[in-house]
Amino acid sequence: MPGPQLKKRRAVIVGGSMSGLFTAAFLRQAGWDADVYERSGVELVGRGAGITTHPELLDALEKSGAGTRNLGIEVPKRIAIDRQGRITGERPLRQILTSWDRLQSLLRATIDPAHYHLGWAFERVEQNGSGVRVYFNNGRVENADILVGGDGVRSTVRGEVAPELQPSYAGYYIWRGAPNEADLAPKTLKDIFPYFVFYLPPRQEVITYPISGFNEDLRPGHRRYNFIWYRVADAETLRDMNVDQNGTRHEFSVPPPLIRKDLIAQMHADARDIMPEVMLDCVMKIRQPFITPIYDFTAPRIVFGRVAMAGDAAANARPHMGFGVAKAGGDAEALARALGNHDDIGRALAAYNAERQPIGNTIVMHSRKLGTHMGVNLKTDEDRRMHALLQSDEAMMDWIAVPNFLDAYR
């Protein structure tokens, strides 16, 4: 059993989104001091991004103290439709659909504002075997027992301790947005708004579902409709898309207000060519569409001395499962549990690595399996088999964003 501690242990957490907030909440429950440092100088917002909930996420929210009150909208089933808007299949599946903003709000409430710091950009870390010295912008320095990198797929912490671990482009991207319920046509509201909906043209994937409105409004008429459109693009095409309306090239993606008007116009034209009426209505009502290129990576380890990675910074999966936030919660809970069960921090971090590194890699591998639907980089017989299987609407409804998918790997 752990013995008495002479002083309260402290964690510095880089990244003020889901991973960072979950980690702070669970570490505080384990008796640690935890401070979150976010590089953005303003509060984070999710641009209306939707989140599919899983049992693991609901469990982590309850255990962390964030809770699940007014979490989102429950849909009774998922349906698939064809080019004419006719239902081609359906599956009963009750599932709560929430939004990035709602989750951020719930988790943000678990941390004392005095321990959440905006405008702190991580620069480097020094380790001496018994702790960390963390350097931020403007000459700021913090000392702690551990550093947690919870700063996402482009983690600056991971770039410092494991620069060889770089995300790879998957060969496709997403157009996304969330039109307001009040702006949608009556037929759209009747035919698809209440459901989790699939539309699957060749080498594309469109998924839609309802989420809360602005300021987490769940009242009918005030909600939004999450719209996700996967499309194939080679690396050269993506580089061109990453040039903004001012001619500036961005390395990974363009901030939504700077996306070129010609790209949006072409997207609208493509939608007119292939979308069912109800989905075209959604596309044309998105006030600010944005682009998310799909990247992923696995990691051979997620602990580097006194530095531990969590969430997307540890292993980043493609979003087909809607499991990113659930993984962040699971990582954070496991880290806090390991630190609570071991007096020796090195042993605790080794236990965390042993538990969560394999799970993270499994999640990434599963996301790649689901990504074969897009028909990109099919390198093995198994890739080609999965691609063939996922060409049916029924298979996609059975495989994409379903609960308990990890049970098959246990």
CA 190 to chain centre: 29
Q: What is the pLDDT of residues 15-35, one digit of tens each?
A: 999 999 999 999 999 999 999
Across 178-238, the runs of DSSP E, i.e. the strands, are: 196-199, 205-211, 224-232
User: Mean pLDDT, to the nearest integer, of 313-317?
Assistant: 97
Question: What is the rounded average pLDDT for all residues in the chain?
Answer: 95
State the average pLDDT over residues 221-249: 96
Short-list 253, 256, 207, CA closest to 230: 207
Q: 10-44+112-167+297-409 and 73-101+169-295: same fold? A: no
In 104-140, which positions are buried (b, 16+ CB within 10 angstroms) versus exposed (e)?
A: bebbbebbeeeebbeebbbeebebeeebbebebeeee
Q: Locate tokens 């059975």: which residue?
A: 398
Better pLDDT: 193 or 130: 193
Measured CA distances, 88 to 113, 226, 270, 275, 290 (Å): 49, 21, 22, 15, 29
Least confident of 4-8, 50-54, 136-140: 4-8
- Residue 45 binned pLDDT confidence (cut-offs 50, 70, 90): confident
Q: Which residues of 11-25 are buried (b: 16+ CB within 10 A; e: fewer)?
A: bbbbbbbbbbbbbbb
Kindly report the number of other CB atoms within 10 A of residue 168's CB atom.
Answer: 12
Q: Is the pLDDT of residue 5 over 60?
A: no
When pLDDT is cut at 50, 70 and 90, the band that residue 214 belongs to is: confident
Query: What is d(CA 276, CA 187) in angstroms, rounded to the nearest whole number?
Result: 12
Q: By the 8 A CB rule, do 205 and 373 touch?
A: yes
* CB 50 within 8 Å of CB 183: no
41-55, 170-184, 271-285, range with the lowest pLDDT:
41-55
Interval 292-307 mean pLDDT: 97
3-state class (DSSP) for residue 179: coil
Which CATH code of 3.40.50.9100, 2.40.50.140, 3.30.9.60, 1.20.120.430 fits the domain covering 73-101+169-295?
3.30.9.60
Tokens found for residue 399: 């495989």
SS3 241: helix
Residue 4: pLDDT above 70?
no
pLDDT at 46: 66
In CATH terms, the fold of domain 10-44+112-167+297-409 is: FAD/NAD(P)-binding domain (3.50.50)
- DSSP sequence for 39-60: S-SS----TT-EEE--HHHHHH
Whether 223 shows a pLDDT value over 90: the answer reads yes
Query: HSE of 391 in the Cβ direction (CA atoms, 13 Å)?
Result: 8
What span, in angstroms and rounded, lies between the C-alpha atoms of 318 and 376? 13
CA geometry: angle 287, 192, 58, nearest 5 deg: 85
Q: Delimit the domains of the chain by residue range.
A: 10-44+112-167+297-409, 73-101+169-295
- 277-285 helix and 261-274 helix, angle to the nearest 10 degrees: 170
Res. 47: pLDDT tops 70: no
